[in-house]
Amino acid sequence: MTTPQDIIRRDVLAMTSYPVPDATGFIKLDAMENPFSLPPVLAAHLGEHLAGVALNRYPAPRPEALIEKIKRAMGAPAACDVLLGNGSDEIISMISMACAKPGAKVLAPVPGFVMYQMSAKLAHLEFVGVPLKPDMTLDADAMIAAIAEHQPAIVYLAYPNNPTGTLYDDADMERIIAAANKSLVVIDEAYQPFAQQSWLPRADQFDNVVVMRTVSKLGLAGIRLGYLAGRSTWLNEIDKVRPPYNVNVLTQAAASFLLDHIDVLDSQAAELRAQRTKLAEAVAALPGAEVFPSAGNFLLVRVPDASILFETLLTARVLIKNVSKMHPLLANCVRLTVGSAEENAQLLAALKLVLH
């Protein structure tokens, strides 16, 4: 009798699925989500809008009106095209698949977003991780040396980086882009609403650069919409491996409606930036806590014992991310999502149970 072990790839059999813990009953501060819901009146209008969506029809593969609205709202250059994905995760998979020539490599700073390496592995691309400096800043010289040695097909630069929160130096980024003149450089701006700096307005100035974003951190994680902006010469080729109808009609309709009310989401992002500053100062004042600078909606914090801290917070019904095993540079580090003022107060109270 045939079993999965007979058919499934050995590396897949050895993998574990992406872990998403059950957050029922917890203060959820582990996934960099926006804690705020839509204002009730706006939510009601959105419901009325979605009620008119034709669920019996396939979605438009390239919804031009929505793409133009994204370009206007996000300030993409006129010369740039936009490709949509089911979250930025799918876009990363599409890039990997499109570039998966035999022997091709993917290069990125580490620790970084785990899906760069995961998607590379699934597409049979070799992943090359270049360690950050101990202060979590970019080691531009090491990146340039690795690019020269490995000649990667794809270079990822997260701006800012997850899980460290680091906003890389622009001069270092320019040096790396120039050195990677035989690579596609993907600048990942998932946390741009909190960094307030962007390479998107300059995306048309480089032959080998595309900028990737998502609406998830802006407060719309549930609709799963990511997008890639860059020259059509790149996007037309990547589009060929996009699954047909990959962005559903409800996602398209919700995104189109809410982009007309982007001021509400921008206001929420501004509140979270203010809360980030307050939370960082309060956590840094706790004994034994080292808070790294963050341009995202989260804080990377080194503590005396990450496992004890994580388990203690679980008993207090506060869910954070223990990243201490992800990379040696993250030893005894946890990642705290910035929540509402009330959530952050409860987080601080729980942290004080351990850090005293």
Stated pTM of the model: 0.95
| CATH number for 195 | 3.40.640.10
* pLDDT, mean over the chain: 95
- Going by pLDDT thresholds of 50, 70 and 90, the confidence category of residue 300 is very high
pLDDT over 90 at 20, yes or no: no
Q: Where among 239, 261, 283 does a domain terminate?
A: 261
The reply to whether 99 and 232 lie within a common domain is yes
Dist CA 227 CA 264 (whole Å): 20
Tens of pLDDT along 288-299?
999 999 999 999
Please tell me the distance from the alpha carbon of residue 302 to that of residue 324, in angstroms, as a whole number.
Answer: 9
The reported pLDDT for the residue numbered 180 is 98
Is 207 a member of any domain? yes
Identify the pLDDT of residue 18.
80
**Residue 177 within a domain:** yes
CB contact set of 39 (below 8 Å; sequence gap of 6+)? 264
% of residues, the chain, pLDDT over 90: 92
What pLDDT band is residue 108 in, cutting at 50, 70 and 90?
very high
Q: Provide the pairing of β-strand 184-188 with 154-158.
A: parallel
Of residues 310, 353, 356, the one with CA closest to residue 30: 310
pLDDT band for 2, please (50, 70, 90 cuts): very high
Q: Are residues 215 and 329 in the same domain?
A: no
The torsion angles phi and psi of 264, rounded to 5 degrees, stand at -65, -45
In a shared domain, residues 80 and 171: yes
**Rounded average pLDDT over 150-157:** 98
- Number of domains the chain contains: 2
For residue 126, what pLDDT is reported? 98
- Angle value at C-alpha 230, between 226 and 232, nearest 5 degrees: 110
Q: Residue range 200-207: average pLDDT? A: 92
Is there a domain that residue 253 lies in?
Answer: yes
Could you tell me the residue range of the domain that residue 186 belongs to?
A: 57-261
Query: Is pLDDT at 162 greater than 90 in this prediction?
Result: yes
**pLDDT score recorded for residue 24:** 85
- DSSP symbols for 126-192: EEEEEEPPTTS---HHHHHHHHHHH--SEEEEESS-TTT-----HHHHHHHHHHTTTSEEEEE-TTH
pLDDT number for residue 17: 84
Residue 260 is classified by DSSP as T
What per-residue confidence (pLDDT) applies to 19? 78
Does residue 356 surpass a pLDDT of 90?
no
Write out pLDDT tens, residues 268-284.
999 999 999 999 999 99
Last residue of a domain, which of 216, 241, 261? Answer: 261
CATH code for position 17 = 3.90.1150.10
Which of 216, 243, 261 delimits the end of a domain?
A: 261
Q: What is the pLDDT of residues 171-180, one digit of tens each?
A: 999 999 999 9
Q: Report which of 247, 201, 266 is spatially closest to residue 64, judged by C-alpha positions.
A: 247
**Same structural domain, 228 and 288:** no
Does 315 score more than 90 pLDDT? yes
Residue 356 or 163, more confident: 163
pLDDT band at 218 (very low <50, low <70, confident <90, very high): confident
pLDDT of residue 233: 95
Q: Are residues 247 and 224 in the same domain?
A: yes
Q: At which residue do the structure tokens 């990642």 appear?
A: 335
Contact 146, 130 (CB under 8 A): yes
Same domain, 131 and 200: yes
Measured CA to CA, the distance from residue 338 to residue 163 in angstroms comes to 13
